[in-house]
Each structure stands twice: as structure tokens, then as C-alpha cells.
Structure 1
């Protein structure tokens, strides 16, 4: 009997092609459609819908497991609307048991996400560099990644397997989990919160595969330049809060000037640039072309 083939995902194929080049991929993380659009306009080839940023943008709340699967899926669909580059998505813990993990991966893959991240934290999960996080036991973590890989067999996507075991259980347990994830069939490995450059090197040297580094400014992991990350063995460098933090700083500065009765001009884009980046120029160009053809 013929077995059904996995449903194709062109964005997953494009992500694999980017990784196959063998160069470090710099990946600013988005949190909504506008931030995703700016990332592509700036020339980046890959983005990631950050759970930290999406929770802040959509709920005005911290990344502490408050967003539901449906809200994450909706945010991902919206963020991908203006994009022609691949976008990864944060599937958190999968939102339940292994069947829920499969539903989460399948739903985000059907939406067009190039990759889905599944992690081993206890639900409700936490941002990996904040207090209060803990992880499930190794067997349950492996079950989650098994479920994600099974879902990939039905609807293609890249599986990004994450472990947060470093803080609670040490590096040896963390490496054991990551190695198990790789053997199961995870495509990308993400060991969160290594405490030093030496630990980062050990991670990449100990386990063959595609590794992602998390360059979270102010977190526990050293912030290294791209060439050093590539030399250590990383394939992807994620910048999860850079745009959100920069945007909030700019908004706070503008609000402070407004409150003080001062000009906000130094904080603002030229109005023509604002319109262009949002898409007004393209919109009017296409609308005018349609009018001309209708005459």
C-alpha cells in the first residue's frame, strides 16, 4: 500500500537551503507583521516569531505561558502576511500532551511556518532567561520531540528542538537531551542559556547537527559577534528582543518628550519614509495601475 507523502512546505525548503550554504544566518526576531516586514526590508533572509515579543505585542504581558495555541497561530499568520522570506514560529511546550504537540506543529506548518520550535519546559513556560522556569523529565521531553517529528511526516516543516535544562540540571543533562533530540530526527538544536563561551563551544563540539545561538541582550549567555558564533559551530544566531527593546526605548523617549511639552522630531522617521516602509507607495502604485487598465 502506498503511504501518503508529507504535504510540501516551500518555506521549509527555503530554510533548509539557507542552512545548507554553511554560513551563519543572522535572524532578528519579529513580534508582529510590521516588525516582520521591516526585517525583510532590511535585507535579512530569515526571521522568527518570538514568544517574548508576541506576548508583549499582542497581550501587553510577559512571556509566561499566557498566550494560547490559537493566539500564537493567529499571530503567526498575521506576521507572515507581508513576508516573502521564511519565518520560524515558537510552539512553546506544544500546549499539552504529545497529541497537542502534533496539532501545534501541524497547524503552524499549514500556516506556512518554515520551522516550529518545541521545548522541554514545564507548562506554563517562561522566557528562558527569567526566573521561575523548570523542565519536564527527559522521557517526557523526548516524547514531545517524537510527536513533533511525527507531525512533520504529515506536513513538512523544520523541527527546532529546544532544551532549558542547563540551569536546573547542568550541562551534562542538557547535552544528553539535545543528543536524544538529534537522534529522534530534530533538524535544529537549541540549547538555551549556556553561561560561557566555553560552554557554547562544548555544545557545538559535543553534538553534530545544526545549532542555534540565542543572543538575548541582558541574558545569561555571552553576546558574541557573528564571526565568533560561526567559528564555534553555530548555524543560526537569533536576536529575540533586539527590535522589541529598541522600539520600546524609542517610544518611551517620544512619550517623555510629549509629556514634557517638547518636540518629538528627533525620534521620528520622515513621513515619506514612514509611508513607504508601511506600504502606502506600493499600494497607490498598484491601485493606479489597475485604474489605468480599466479605462
Structure 2
């Protein structure tokens, strides 16, 4: 509930929040350490990191919620979870929203793609009909209201991928109905130019999210331009994973020649992971004051 309230406060600000997307507890921890106000669990990056497979609906509900819980336990900033299509019919959507709230997410994204879903910037995606799309968001909002009645809370990020197959007008019409049904944040995926982005923000109420994929269909505009257009959040779903993968591949290739450059030094690595905080906290407890060797291993 606290994280949902934090997210509402952020969305009320007159700015476009830069939102680096995480894929595990460590990447989320680094985002928080660098002072970002919120993060999103990228389905693309999470599927790649957790199961080593593309984001094509292969991860189960249980795997995704488990990953979200690991992330929320590692950070104190709001996390938006990727609930995909809700993992079934409207009743499954209700369970998905409740599960993400219990995992500590500030918001959950529900989309109108046909299951199994696909990454929004890859070929072959399709959307369900309007009635089914609206039922998903209606069910998500019902679950949110039940959570509130019981003392919990979560925001609903409603996404449409209709631009790809049916054009921008259909995508905007769907998103407008999502807002009428009670969605908190709107996300029209993959507008293809700045004019389309401006039309999305001009035609739709409330907070909107832009999704910036390096090499994707949506223009990679500066944050000031995104704010001027009308976005409240700019998500960067693959930046950290692409940077990490490039660094790992570079290191692996260098190791063949006995070289390793560009590494974080061991002291900073330990500090960012939390060794220093652990040892400081453990000083309060006599039974924890045992001799530890390098890397925190007990001798």
C-alpha cells in the first residue's frame, strides 16, 4: 500500500520520470542506489535473465510473481510489475492483480495482446477483441477495489498493442475506454513518430507512459521533449540488460587473452551488494561477531 501511495505522489508531479527497467533484485538495487524514483520489471529482460528465453509468453504466472517479490524485497522504491495478458481469462486477471499486490508491487501492467504475448517491438503480435480487452481491465480494476477495501492497494497500468495491427485510432479508442473503466496509467505501445506520440497524449486523460526501446519503433526523444509531449513516465526496458550483456560478452572475450578491463572494483561491488550494511548491522549481535574471510565467508 505504501508503494502504491508513493507512485501516486510521483504521478501527480509535473514531470516525466525516467524509469530504468530492472530484471532481477540486483539490477533493481542498482537503480535505487542511483537515485531513480521508480522502476519497472521488464518482461523482455526478466524472461531473458530468469529462463534464458525470449519474451514470448514462456514464463508462468508463478515465475513472474516470484521474480517480482525478490525485487520488491531488495528495494524501497515503487516497482511496476509486468502482468502480461493476466495469464488467462478475467478471473485469472483478478488473481494476477492480487498476486502482484501481495508481492509488493506498486502497480501491475495488464495488456490486450493475444496469448501467448510477444514483446511490443517484435513481429507477429496480435490483440484480442475489444470486449475481451475491456473485460481484462474491468477485472483488474475490480481486484484493485477489493484490495483497497481490505486495506491494500495497487495501481493498474493498462496497455494496448492495437497500433501495430489496427492503427493508432483504434489504440487510442481502447486506451480511452481503459481510462473510463478505472485504469490509473495508460500505455499505448509503439507509436511510430513524434506526431503519433503527441496525439496519444492529447487525446487521452491521466498519466501516460512512453516505452523507449533502443532500435525500436518509438522515437528515442530527450526527457524534456517527452515531458512536453505529455508523458509522465519514460520506461527504458532494455537499456540495463543490453549494457550488462555487452559488458559480459566483452569480458568473456577478453579472458581468452588473460585481460579483463572495465570491471567494478571489488570494494564497490561488495558495498553495492550489501556486505558493508550487513556487517554494520551484525555488530549489534554477539553471536554474529565471528571471524569472516574474504567475500564474507566464515572461516
* TM-score class, shorter: over 0.9
| Shift of residue 292, structure 1, vs aligned partner | 9.3
2:120 matched residue in structure 1: 128
Question: Does residue 39 in structure 1 map to residue 34 in structure 2?
Answer: no
1:245 matched residue in structure 2: 242
1:282 is aligned, of 274, 277, 285, to 277
Distance (whole Å) between structure 2 residues aligned to residue 224 and residue 293 of structure 1: 51
| Shift of residue 81, structure 1, vs aligned partner | 1.3
Matches of residues 232-271 of structure 1 in structure 2 within 5 Å? Answer: 232-259=229-256, 261-264=257-260, 266-271=261-266
2:92 matched residue in structure 1: 100
Q: Deviations over 1:19-46 (max 9, x none)?
A: 1122211110000000000000000010
Given that 2:110 and 2:158 are in contact with CA atoms closer than 8 Å, whether structure 1 keeps it comes out as yes
Distance (whole Å) between structure 2 residues aligned to residue 15 and residue 145 of structure 1: 19
Given that 1:253 and 1:267 are in contact with CA atoms closer than 8 Å, whether structure 2 keeps it comes out as no
Matches of residues 175-194 of structure 1 in structure 2 within 5 Å? Answer: 175-194=172-191
Question: Does residue 49 in structure 1 map to residue 45 in structure 2?
Answer: no
2:204 is aligned, of 204, 207, 216, to 207
Distance (whole Å) between structure 1 residues aligned to residue 83 and residue 168 of structure 2: 24
Q: Deviations over 1:125-152 (max 9, x none)?
A: 0000001110001111011000000000
Distance (whole Å) between structure 2 residues aligned to residue 293 and residue 275 of structure 1: 18
CA RMSD of aligned residues (A): 1.2
What TM-score, normalized by structure 2, do the two folds share? 0.93
What TM-score, normalized by structure 1, do the two folds share? 0.94
2:166 matched residue in structure 1: 169
SS of the residue corresponding to residue 256 of structure 1 reads helix
Gaps of at least 5 residues in structure 2 are 148-152, 290-299
1:198 matched residue in structure 2: 195
Distance (whole Å) between structure 2 residues aligned to residue 49 and residue 291 of structure 1: 38
SS of the residue corresponding to residue 27 of structure 1 reads strand
SS of the residue corresponding to residue 140 of structure 1 reads helix
2:297 matched residue in structure 1: none
Q: How many residues align?
A: 284
Distance 1:120 1:293, change over 3 A: closer
